Structure 1
């Protein structure tokens, strides 16, 4: 652990976790997560499957008329997932500008305006809706970073309009941003004109075909899912917040995939037939139950192994951490047991999520379990999350139960070894 390789790995991971632009991307996605969850749940409600002999959709149709009530969920979709790229362009620029200490609202508005300027127009004078949503995510990320960096440089170069004392702060900010905004929008307009004349493709089509589509294709594979599960947990083992560090990388890859599943599910395609297997809900609901490392299974293993030793330190930590773990909050366990830098727990802490990733992928790929068609809050407890993300299927619950059983079985011998080692150390 003290080798130069490990030290360099920790330094690199720490740099990535604190790098300004990656942090802004991560925080930008976190900012819009409530809208994403609301939009996802709206579509889930619109297409909720029958429970036994009761059909929620049929019941609502009987009250409000067939399909009429679903217009509400459709409108929520239009204000959330349908403009995902635009929301990202705004939120990332806001967070990046805030980190620099410049006018974050002006930077976010300039970024959103620039994004709209690049969106292709339809023949009847409207915006192409497809590029406002998840297909435009990478353009939203790129344009937010570029415009914010330009805005920062222009503002700090004093190429601004100064106002006399006594003028309201809002007016001062508006005029200070006027010249930088003019320059940036002119540059974006010139860039758009050059692209349209010489390439005859929109920026969105170029970025989607060259960058976004290939990366999403790689991300929607079992090897990619295994790598993500491994990296997340090796970072946690060294005390680094693995979820936050890799979040800025996986969010742009996996949000478009779940958005595609949601779009098809909204249009009546069964959850077993949507195309994408590996999505963020796939990882959150079937791999990271109880938090990274599926630590809810670790707590159950502790309660089983040490059921006759209530005063054992492992049991004490498990009792404290169990309530939070039900809602996928596991820092008390990771740092209290501890798992961080604990060689006994290294193997199961990495082996469990990798194993569950493989099992879950096979279950979804074979059609035994429906694929994910909804995003739920990351604090949603296991069992409920498995039911919701699979479109209301009991098979999602069954997969979570099987995964938990396997995880508990893997953790038990290591809990036994850890408890024995702790006891021997105390006696020595």
Structure 2
């Protein structure tokens, strides 16, 4: 075990650390985080519109009339329906700020470039089919490339300088004028060439060649296991696995939950939507209490452990753990760099990923159709993400029971090791 840990610390961790701090990946991660409130609001709007309780539906219809769902539909239009535009602006802003550049100018140019690349409808409107989650991949790439071009042009002095005394907003606007002109001309030329020679848009090419195969792969059990494994391996070594993998998880899995939500809002049941593995799949069924399903670990501590240290950590960690905040137990027990806890910390989420995947794929539990705040406690989250089904709650309870049973023998072994260590210290002192 010590040789394995030594190898991981020497070889794997430096690479993972550099990936986690890489400028462009950080910008993608922070870009998705910034728009998460809008995503959650849009998701809840659809969930309310299609809440599967007839008494609720009849009540809303009686009070507000036939058009009561239009409010939720409008909220959807201002959030999920334009997800790609929001992501492009947010990522570009964060990347530009990391270079100490004008983030607002970069964001506006990125959005303008993305609109140029987006197909239009027959009446010359922007196609909602491509400014939502389906165009997410192009939005991410466009925001990164455009911002890098903006940086190069700004640093190459392709700018207009204004005299002193001119308001700062005007200075920034004119400084971005020439870079914006060059970038938009290049993007416009690319779109014209694609239209003339391929008769398809960049969105359609990327979706068919890259995004569609990736979505099919990401919806598989092996990919879900790999994601769960890597997330917890990084956390074990003290690296924020959720943040490091965030750009990948958000880019791949947000379109899947958006598709599930869209079909659910059209009247299709949560059992019949296509995608099993989504971001809420992990958040609600695997990461209960935080990475490692540590709320189960806290429960196991209270059930079998007598060690004062462990029980104190459990008491202090429990209130935060209910809301999926688990740093107190990760670093207080500790789990991080604790060889005894390595196996259950990785084994529990792997097993729960497998159990949850089969429960959803076999139709025992409805698939996920809502995105919730990551701090939503278990039981509540299981009910809501499954479209208002108690089967989602039942799966969470089963998963918690499985996790507790896995953690118990390792906790008992860790307690025995701690007691033996204390006895040895006592003998030395005596």
Please give the TM-score of this superposition, normalised by the length of structure 2. Answer: 0.97
Equivalent position to 1:344, from 337, 340, 344: 340
Structure-to-structure mapping, 1:297-312, within 5 angstroms: 297-306=296-305, 309=306, 312=308
Structure-to-structure mapping, 1:70-109, within 5 angstroms: 70-109=69-108
Which residue pairs with 1:7 in the alignment? 10
Which residue pairs with 1:420 in the alignment? 416
Which residue pairs with 2:314 in the alignment? 318
Question: Matched residues in 1 for 2:8 and 2:403: separation?
Answer: 30
How far off is 1:422 after superposition? Answer: 0.6
1:168-190 CA deviation, whole Å, 9 max, x = no partner? 11111001101110110011111
Q: SS of the residue aligned with 2:124?
A: coil
Equivalent position to 1:27, from 18, 22, 30: 30
How far off is 1:15 after superposition? Answer: 1.2
1:255-280 CA deviation, whole Å, 9 max, x = no partner? 00000000000000000110000000
Unaligned runs of 5+ in 1: none
Structure-to-structure mapping, 1:129-278, within 5 angstroms: 129-278=128-277
Question: Matched residues in 1 for 2:107 and 2:283: separation?
Answer: 30
Question: Matched residues in 2 for 1:55 and 1:260: separation?
Answer: 27
Which residue pairs with 1:63 in the alignment? 63
Structure-to-structure mapping, 1:256-405, within 5 angstroms: 256-306=255-305, 309=306, 312-405=308-401
Q: SS of the residue aligned with 2:176?
A: helix
Which residue pairs with 1:43 in the alignment? 46
How far off is 1:73 after superposition? Answer: 0.2
* Count of residues in correspondence between the two structures: 421
Q: SS of the residue aligned with 1:189?
A: helix
Q: SS of the residue aligned with 1:262?
A: helix
Q: SS of the residue aligned with 2:272?
A: coil
Question: Matched residues in 1 for 2:319 and 2:185: separation?
Answer: 55
**RMSD between aligned alpha carbons?**
0.9
1:366-411 CA deviation, whole Å, 9 max, x = no partner? 1110000000000000000000000010000000000000100000
Question: Matched residues in 1 for 2:10 and 2:266: separation?
Answer: 50
Question: Matched residues in 1 for 2:119 and 2:255: separation?
Answer: 19
Q: Does 1:411 align with 2:407?
A: yes
How far off is 1:6 after superposition? Answer: 4.5
How far off is 1:11 after superposition? Answer: 1.3
How far off is 1:3 after superposition? Answer: 3.9
How far off is 1:125 after superposition? Answer: 1.4
Which residue pairs with 2:113 in the alignment? 114
Question: Matched residues in 2 for 1:242 and 1:119: separation?
Answer: 34
Question: Matched residues in 2 for 1:137 and 1:223: separation?
Answer: 23
Which residue pairs with 2:428 in the alignment? none
Question: Matched residues in 1 for 2:322 and 2:145: separation?
Answer: 41
How far off is 1:64 after superposition? Answer: 1.9
How far off is 1:158 after superposition? Answer: 1.3
